[in-house]
Amino acid sequence: MVSEGDGMHDQGETLGVRIGAREIYDEVVGLREDVRSLGQQGESVDETLEDHETRIRSLEGERGKFVLPVALITAVATVVAAGLTVAKVAG
């Protein structure tokens, strides 16, 4: 019975939600698909990271090729400039 004005329900009425086995099963199946999808995305990310690491290491190796020739050219240019300066002062 409902009391007047107090909003209370009698004992025979129940409030709540019933969730059946089918709803639980459907949610579990949906979660399984979500987990599979995340696993595939993780594999893709791993492959991308490996590719980027390989590219970065390749670029670092190529950068090292140019260090010695540039240093040699700079050293020769410095010696030539110093020689020209000495020749001007002496001559």
User: Quick check: is 46 in a domain?
Assistant: yes
Q: Is 15 helix (H, G, I), strand (E, B) or coil?
A: coil
User: Quick check: is 53 in a domain?
Assistant: yes
Strands of the chain, DSSP E: none
Determine the pLDDT at residue 24: 94
User: What is the C-alpha separation between 79 and 72, in angstroms, rounded?
Assistant: 11
Whether residues 24 and 52 share a domain: the answer is yes
User: Quick check: is 56 in a domain?
Assistant: yes
Whether residues 46 and 21 share a domain: the answer is yes
Sign of CA dihedral 35, 41, 45, 46: positive
The count of structural domains within the chain is 2
Whether residues 81 and 52 share a domain: the answer is no
Give the tens place of pLDDT for each residue, 21-75: 999 999 999 999 999 999 889 888 989 999 999 999 888 887 777 888 888 999 9
Determine the pLDDT at residue 62: 79
Tell me if the pTM is above 0.75: no
At residue 12, does pLDDT exceed 70? no
Over its C-alpha atoms, the chain yields an Rg (Å, rounded) of: 39
**DSSP secondary structure letter of residue 2:** P
Q: Which domain holds residue 86?
A: 66-90
